[in-house]
Amino acid sequence: MTTEEQFMARALELASRGLGAVSPNPLVGCVIVRDGKIIGEGWHQKHGKAHAEVNAVLDTGDESLVTGSDLYVTLEPCAHTGKTPPCADLLVRLKPRRVVIAHTDPNPLVSGKGIGKLTDAGIEVLNGVLESQARHLNRRFLRFMTDHRPYIILKWAQTADRLIARENLESKWISGTLSRALVHRWRAEEDAVLVGTRTAIHDNPLLTVRDWTGRNPVRIVVDRFLRLPQHLHLLDGAVRTIVYNVLRHEEKSHLLMVRLDENDFLSQLLGDLHRRDIQSVIVEGGAFTLQQFIDSGHWDEARIFESARTFGKGVNAPQLRGQKVDSARIGDDELSLWVPQRSTWHLVSR
């Protein structure tokens, strides 16, 4: 690994700390190096707050040290004013000797403009260091920006005989306690979690973060004909919840009824989530809803827990067409990770 790659790897490690806190912004880390030593580090910690470059400059304790330094950042510095001023302007003022970037920002408000500001100011720019790793880290943001839909993660637990529920549709406790805690961590890392009508009725899930520390995701339920009983946890108003249906549109503080046309329902749902700045969604069931995402091609990765237990009879697991790229033992369960066949996701280790 080259010196540039070593410092960029550190910047990527810092960037990952923002997962679950900065969406719909990208994950960004920054390292400032002078005379071969790191003098400042930072990452984007929370949406609406200071960006990675600003935090790294503050970490030096003396911004004059940035002049003549090498600055490593995992994404092209922003060139527009949003909730914070442009980071490219800050760097132009402080004049580092060189700015090393993992890859260009696909956001049309930034793409190429940040680099342009730096080069116009006489600052050397090196682009493309650990680019594939950086793109993998920001795969949610890139999907959101390029395809105008959220990044979709499918998740389910199945028995050794590939069932996800008993004949009475009972599906709880297929996986173990460690697996369930991991799912709560995932919920804290993503913007939203989605289930279908039957799962909402039969499991009455909370879809909140309880076995981990972090924010609750937005809860999403597909209830086309508004059949859900009002006593369900999903309708209790405790957490922001969106109910997608074909009958009524009504928006309250924490409960939104969003009406879509029956035709092309799923694509409309994803488009509406994009407009609401929801960058990633975990689809947690049931089988019918998961299969709809699979059959439409609207998915990016699948996380499947398999238990050693069997049911004998029950609801079959979804039929997944993709490639397995990783697996791990989680307590007594086997967790496998899948991506679509043409995905480049597997080219970079998790």
CA-angle at 140, arms to 136 and 144, nearest 5°: 130
Catalytic residue among 53, 76, 284, 301: 53
Are 217 and 224 a contacting pair, CB within 8 Å? no
Dihedral angle at the C-alpha atoms of 94, 98, 103, 105, nearest 10 degrees?
20
Catalytic annotation present for 189: no
Residue 9: enclosing H or E segment and its boundaries? helix 3-15
CB 348 within 8 A of CB 133: yes
Residue (of 138, 135, 180) closest to 157 by Cα position? 180
**Nearest one of 163, 160, 180, 179 to 171, comparing CA atoms:** 163
Which is it for strands 255-259 and 250-251: parallel, antiparallel or unpaired? antiparallel
> What b/e string do you get for 16-39 counting C-beta neighbours within 10 Å, with b at 16 or more?
eebbbbbbbbbbbbbbbbbeeebb
Which among 47, 17, 6, 14 is positioned nearest to 30, based on CA atoms? Answer: 14
Distance CA 107, CA 25 (A): 10
Active site residues: 53
